[in-house]
Amino acid sequence: MGSSGAGKTTLMDVIAGRKTGGKIAGKILLNGYKASDLAIRRSTGYCEQMDVHSEASTFREALTFSSFLRQDASISDSRKFDSVNECIELLGLEDIADQIIRGSSVEQMKRLTIGVELAAQPSVIFLDEPTSGLDARSAKLIMDGVRKVADSGRTIICTIHQPSSEVFYLFDSLLLLKRGGETVFFGDLGKNCRNLIDYFENIPGVVPLPKGYNPATWMLECIGAGVGNTAGNQTDFVEYFKNSPYNEQLVANMAKEGITIPSPDLPEMVFGKKRAADSMTQMKFVVRRYIQMYWRTSAYNLTRMFLAVILAVLFGLIFVSADYASYSGLNSGVGMVFIAALFNSIMAFQSVLPLSCSERASFYRERASQTYNAFWYFVGSTLAEIPYCFMSSLIFTVIFYPFVGFQGFVPAVLFWLILSLSILMQVYMGMMFAYALPSEEVAAIIGVL
């Protein structure tokens, strides 16, 4: 905790290996050994402030996806399914486990975000502002679930902004920072935050905690990070902490084996492979998720089929009485085929942009956790498109081909195949633009050009 600009999220991002810019000094240790970036990503979970998921999946499918792709390949499938059921039970997701994620409330999405990381069975879970955007009741429900996770034997580290007293009492320890990232307090909170309250009340110039007042709010006001400022300008809280028993205890703990010194009882966290799951498992789950997503996103595919009918009828009416025996008629027929293919391709390009851009955020989150190889994401997205592209072009061909007076089954099949490949190429180009450019709007403009 701390004031705005204290570096709470920055510190957590650095420890979790998620900070890519700036200069980082110091050491990050796991079990007393220097931690590699891979070891940090494989042994920890990180819950971002924004709840980003593939929204066409169900809650259970999202948890299963994380469990099978982020737990080691040596762990049996039955144990992975057990961990999924454990997450559902711990976070109270039983009633909505088989519900589609799309349209869920903020509180349900928060629980899913925590569950997705928990399903990977990490040793440490980082939470960035888990109660942001929630009312008091929802925040309490979320943090009660987090407390259950901590009681199951995992370390939970989170940043939080002025929690209610009920939420604040759930925590075991506190690192309090002032602006600039300096430590004001670090230690056990004690029952009902008694240790923290006694510590601050013993500092000269600090107004005692009023009866019934929230200790978290009072503490921030004491150091000048809240609305009120009781002693923040007069007292050097950083210097006071350096001379306190809490700092002495911190220094003593840092010198223990397994903290900054390797311990023979705790192994070094070494991972031979970049990703936990093997290639076949990655392919199976990523391709399956894409197929399910396309099947459940009916608006996207039905719109394409409907537009194929509209375009076929429109072009058919325009060229219904065309005569291909003359040079001019033949020339207009060639132009008609070109325009028909062009309009179908543009329609496909523009249609795929929103879908691809909406999935990009979840891809970034999963890639940061080394969930799967980007190649399998490419395979899944390309394979899922094929049947729908061929189906929409088939609908167009069945209506358009006889409408304009074309004849012959073999030429019709060739026309359908060429049109399908043309549409598919434009869909893949749309995907490439969606993934390569900063936003959907930019991708659409560049595509038109």
pLDDT at 225: 57
The whole-angstrom separation of Cα 290 and Cα 182 is: 46
> Are 374 and 367 contacting, i.e. CB atoms less than 8 angstroms apart?
yes
Question: Which amino acid, 365?
Answer: R
pLDDT tens digits for 154-165? 899 999 888 888
The whole-angstrom separation of Cα 222 and Cα 234 is: 10
pLDDT at 316: 85
Domain ranges of the chain: 8-161+244-254, 279-448
| Signed CA dihedral, 39, 44, 48, 53: sign only | positive
pLDDT at 290: 94
Structure tokens at 151: 């009681």
pLDDT at 229: 46
From residue 375, give the alpha-carbon distance in Å to each of 48, 233, 283, 379: 24, 55, 9, 6
Ranges of beta strands (E only) in 189-278 are none
* Residue range 8-161+244-254 in CATH 3.40.50.300: yes
Tokens 């089954």 sit on residue = 409
> Are 415 and 397 contacting, i.e. CB atoms less than 8 angstroms apart?
yes
pLDDT at 37: 84
User: Can you give the pLDDT of all 449 residues of the chain as single tens digits?
Assistant: 987 778 888 888 888 888 777 888 888 888 888 888 888 888 889 988 888 898 899 999 999 999 999 998 889 999 999 999 999 988 888 999 999 999 888 889 998 999 999 999 888 999 988 888 788 888 888 888 889 888 888 899 999 888 888 899 999 999 999 888 889 999 999 888 999 999 999 888 888 989 889 999 998 888 875 444 444 456 788 899 999 999 999 999 888 888 888 888 888 888 878 888 899 999 999 999 999 999 998 888 899 899 999 999 988 888 777 777 778 778 888 888 898 889 998 889 999 999 998 888 899 889 888 889 999 999 999 999 999 999 999 999 999 888 888 888 999 999 999 999 999 999 999 999 999 898 889 988 888 77
pLDDT at 234: 66
The size of the chain, in residues, is: 449
pLDDT at 232: 44
